[in-house]
Amino acid sequence: MTSIQVAQRGTGLLRVFNEAGVLSAADVHVAVRLGRMGREDSEAVLFAAALAVRAVRSGSVCLELARMREIGIDADETRDAATGIDPASLPWPDTDQVLTALRRSPLICGGPAGPLRPLRIVEADAEGGALLYLDRYYRQEQTLRRVLTERSLDHPVIDTALVRAELDRLFAEPLGAGPDRQRLAAALAATHWTTVVAGGPGTGKTHTIARILALLTAHRAATPKLPALRIALAAPTGKAAARLQEAVREQATELGLPELTASTLHRLLGWQRGRTTRFRHHEHNRLPYDVVVVDETSMVSLTMMSHLFSALRPDTRLVLVGDPDQLASVDAGAVLADLVAGPISAAPNPALGEVASVPGHVGAESISGPGRSGVDGEPGADGAVVGASLSGLEQRRLRGGIVRLTRGRRFGGRIADLAVAVRAGDADAALAILRAGGADVSLCAPDDTAAVRADVITASLAVTAAADAGDAIGALTALESHRLLCAHRQGPFGVERWDRMAADWAAAGGAGPEGPQAVWYPGQPLLVTANDHEARIYNGDTGVIIRRPDGSLRAALQRGSEPYLVHPTQFPAVVTVFAMTIHRSQGSQYDTVSVVLPEPESTLLTRELLYTAITRARTHVRVIGTEDAIRAAIGRRVLRASGLSRTASSASGTSPRP
């Protein structure tokens, strides 16, 4: 076990919780420094400050003071085992005493040392207890609140007859019984400045994006004397941006869209290294676009989202797309999940009802008015978007510009049942599905590697055969036939160990390097770990080495229907990959997925992690782990505290609260 780094300046509670592994040395150092700058020596305040730093480092925006005792041992992947200390046995201070000390602290109120107030308290309300923020993250969250509120005060002026006609054209084919939520998403984007399109894998999110753009483009074209619609497509990573671009371009000819280019959010905002303003576009230099679409929004941090919101013009339509049940950003915040779960305060929008209702069915008031359930009437085959299948919750969400796509097309059967059980937190149902097994799902003990070994060898041989024949499409297709996913990077259940084992299995089966000195070989699976935008190579890209007819080697990367070939030496950074982390797999799909679960005690093992892993599979998901690990994963939610999902609350920071 790697020893815990102890901050030498930490004393009292800081020292105890640092040695126990609840706080890191960095958490303690920041708290001590803040105390010295603000002339604060209260042990309770410094301890709370350290926990607030720890919360941000763990992905939360703030610290829920009432739940601080639920914080466990830090999930440091370099440790092979826990400290053996039960966090509940530690000397946690009384929450009320901590809150009282914070209310009068100069770190909250300012003091003799100056106006420095690096901490903020949002007091308790009906939705939860007090929240402690680092000032930076409080301001970022308030930016989102302010911009969202301002953008919800009015709605775009539209030609309702034209929008409805375009909806009929773009969504002419009915999806079956019930409301067409893809059509409804397009109607929302036409009638709202901010639209959130949520949905799991295979629910048609990119299909919907393309039709939203086609609808808005047609509406602009019908308005005389206005320039063409300026559209920006963006995603948090280069890989996600490339996938979005290709998905939209594949539908561009059919829908009459111009050729669009997607970029990362950093490139969209104009990253400036070494400048006083981090991005070229901000609240004083807004983005020039009429429509901004952000895909994979679940992976966007609070900090990046606040930069984007600050740079938006008030009359820019913003469409946020993603799966709120997947793993969130590695940085602080789970903005998409907060928006979907948050309160709805927007005013009713009559135009939505006008373009989305169908004669003979539910009228405009059921969508734009107060949400109500129990609506009678089945939608017809003409693509009606309202009816009995829209619950009261869905109708309330519509007022806020939020719709969740529900019809999965990428997978079904037992995989879909398993994903639903995990998302619902039903461990008994999930285990029953896994125990029953079958063609779609299977459960293996941690030491039962026969099945995963067979899949690794079969996939590797197929990749190698196609690559050796110069068949790039065939090699990439075979590469997606199986993927080994892990929660950790290191340790007995981590990527490093399982990647080595899988490489050995493949080589023993005849799908390895051609010699001990070979750096590149046909069939070699690759993972890009750095961006090179000029070369169109992105962090997270996967590919395979193929042999060309002249005997030379090239790396084939997936780019829509046509592979993108580059010389291996062009990669800014690349590794051979047989296994990857579940985080890395987001946005990708494979025929069969083998998921290696760590021991139940791992704090990385969460419901969101397991759901993300399961939904990477198209035809079969294999869970390698114990039933205890599965129960632990389903029972443990990602604890990402934030105030965005609450109604607006006031913050202490100017004067103490009685």
Q: Would residue 57 count as lying in a domain?
A: yes
Q: Measure the CA–CA gap between 58 and 49, rounded to whole angstroms.
A: 14
Residues 529 and 435 in one domain: yes
Residues 606 and 460 in one domain: yes
Specify the DSSP element, H or E, that contains 101: helix 95-103
Amino acid at 190: A
Binding site, annotated residues: 199-206
Domain count, the chain: 3
CATH number for the domain spanning 237: value is: 3.40.50.300
For 318, phi and psi rounded to 5 degrees? -115, 125
CATH number for the domain spanning 82: value is: 1.10.10
Of 85, 103, 134, the residue at which a domain comes to its end is 134
Question: What confidence tens digit (pLDDT) does each residue in 548-593 have?
Answer: 998 899 999 876 667 889 898 888 888 899 999 988 888 788 999 9
pLDDT at residue 243 in the model: 83
Q: Would residue 147 count as lying in a domain?
A: no
Residues 99 and 168 in one domain: no
Q: Would residue 398 count as lying in a domain?
A: yes
Residues 400 and 443 in one domain: no
- CB burial of residue 381 (10 Å; 0-12, 13-18, 19+): exposed
Of 134, 162, 179, the residue at which a domain comes to its end is 134
Residue where the block lists tokens 């300012």:
110
Q: Would residue 529 count as lying in a domain?
A: yes
As given in the structure block, the two tokens for residue 208 are: 């919907």
Residues 456 and 534 in one domain: yes
For 28, phi and psi rounded to 5 degrees? -65, -45
Q: Would residue 166 count as lying in a domain?
A: yes
Provide the 3-class DSSP secondary structure of residue 396: helix
Residues 449 and 586 in one domain: yes
Helix extents (H) in 263-317: 265-269, 302-311
CA distances from 159 to 218, 222, 289, 351, 619 (A): 11, 9, 21, 9, 44
Residues 174 and 30 in one domain: no
Q: Are 200 and 419 in contact (CB under 8 A)?
A: yes
Domain range enclosing 534 = 417-635
Amino acid at 623: V
The DSSP code for 463 is H
pLDDT at residue 213 in the model: 94
As given in the structure block, the two tokens for residue 197 are: 């399109």
Q: Would residue 546 count as lying in a domain?
A: yes
- CB burial of residue 50 (10 Å; 0-12, 13-18, 19+): buried
Residue where the block lists tokens 């100069």:
106
As given in the structure block, the two tokens for residue 351 are: 């135009």
Binding site, annotated residues for ATP: 199-206
As given in the structure block, the two tokens for residue 34 are: 């803040």
Amino acid at 576: T
Q: Would residue 457 count as lying in a domain?
A: yes
Q: Are 391 and 374 in contact (CB under 8 A)?
A: no
pLDDT at residue 373 in the model: 32
Residues 594 and 447 in one domain: yes
pLDDT at residue 67 in the model: 85
Residues 129 and 186 in one domain: no
Q: Measure the CA–CA gap between 19 and 323, rounded to whole angstroms.
A: 38
Residues 334 and 397 in one domain: yes
- CB burial of residue 261 (10 Å; 0-12, 13-18, 19+): exposed
Residues 398 and 466 in one domain: no
Question: What confidence tens digit (pLDDT) does each residue in 449-504 have?
Answer: 999 999 999 999 999 999 999 999 999 999 999 999 998 888 889 899 999 999 99
pLDDT at residue 359 in the model: 33
Residues 422 and 397 in one domain: no
As given in the structure block, the two tokens for residue 649 are: 């609350």
Q: Would residue 143 count as lying in a domain?
A: no
As given in the structure block, the two tokens for residue 279 are: 């991005």
CA distances from 618 to 351, 407, 439, 498 (A): 39, 15, 12, 22
pLDDT at residue 8 in the model: 64
pTM, full prediction: 0.80
Specify the DSSP element, H or E, that contains 461: helix 450-468
Q: Are 346 and 400 in contact (CB under 8 A)?
A: yes
The DSSP code for 348 is P
- 10-residue mean pLDDT profile of the chain (658 residues): values are 61 85 88 88 91 88 86 53 66 91 89 77 76 92 90 87 88 70 90 90 85 92 85 86 86 88 88 71 91 91 92 94 79 80 72 63 37 30 42 79 75 80 91 90 92 94 93 92 91 90 91 78 89 76 90 84 84 88 84 92 85 90 93 84 68 42
